[in-house]
Amino acid sequence: MISLFLDTSNFRLIVGVVNESNNNIITMHNEKLHGDLSTKVFEIIDLCISNANIKPTDIKKIYSVIGPGSFTGVRIGVTIAKTFAWARNIKVIPVSSLEVLATTETDKDFIIPMIDARRGCVYAGIYDKKLNPVIDDAYISLESLKNNLPSGATYSFISDDNIEYFDSVEESNVDIIKIINKHKNDEGVNPHHLNPEYLKMTEAEANLLNKENDSRD
């Protein structure tokens, strides 16, 4: 089975075409972006499909990273996955962006993937080496994250952002085969039911909620 992996959730664009039958990455693009994601992502998807020497109709499943991360990036990826899957009547497997970061190889007990959420906060989770969540993904202050670390263990802090709160933060080295192997038997979702996982409200939503609360006072 040929699958498409798509992650546009942060400042790194990851697109992969995978043959699940033999756990082979046919082609993959992993790039830190400095330009227009909405234009670049379509170019890269087309390039990966072309380099894999397949047709879009050969893709039978999509692994879509649904966040958390950049609100715009998450929306773009989810919308592309929904449209592609709906047009071809194939299922979508939703995946956490933090779980993807947690595929980075480590010799530590736990992996702590982080995405900068600004103002002293991050999106973060704590995973073991089998990608099982020890603490669920959350929007959390760096101080609270530090206070919730399991005692007596070693950690790898993984982030592609400039987070200097912890002594040693490593850049990600994502292994999408780990994601495929963990989720290949998931039932998946109907494309219409695929939704972003932001973990916090957008600024516009927060402002609207504040206005509604003020009007009730």
Q: Where in the chain is the domain with CATH 3.30.420.40?
A: 2-96+174-203
The pLDDT of residue 208 is: 38
Torsional sign, CA 13, 19, 21, 23: negative
Alpha-carbon span 138 to 155, nearest angstrom: 18
Average pLDDT of the chain is 90
What kind of fold does domain 2-96+174-203 have according to CATH?
Nucleotidyltransferase; domain 5 (3.30.420)
What kind of fold does domain 99-170 have according to CATH?
Nucleotidyltransferase; domain 5 (3.30.420)
Q: How would you classify the pairing of strands 169-170 and 155-158?
A: parallel
Q: Which two tokens stand for residue 160?
A: 């592609």
Task: Name which residue leads in pLDDT, 206 or 54.
Answer: 54
Q: Where in the chain is the domain with CATH 3.30.420.200?
A: 99-170
pLDDT in tens, 12-44: 899 999 999 999 999 999 998 876 888 899 999
pLDDT class of 201 with cuts at 50, 70, 90:
low
DSSP string, the chain: -EEEEEE-SSSEEEEEEEETTTTEEEEEEEEE--S-HHHHHHHHHHHHHHHTT--GGGEEEEEEE--SS-HHHHHHHHHHHHHHHHHHT-EEEEE-HHHHHTTS--SSSEEEEEEEEETTEEEEEEE-TT--EEEEEEEEEHHHHHHTSPTT--EEEE-SS---SSS-EEPP---HHHHHHHHTT---B-GGG-----SS--HHHHHHHHHHHHHH-
Whether the pLDDT of residue 165 is over 70: the answer is yes
pTM given for the model: 0.90
pLDDT in tens, 181-190: 999 999 999 9
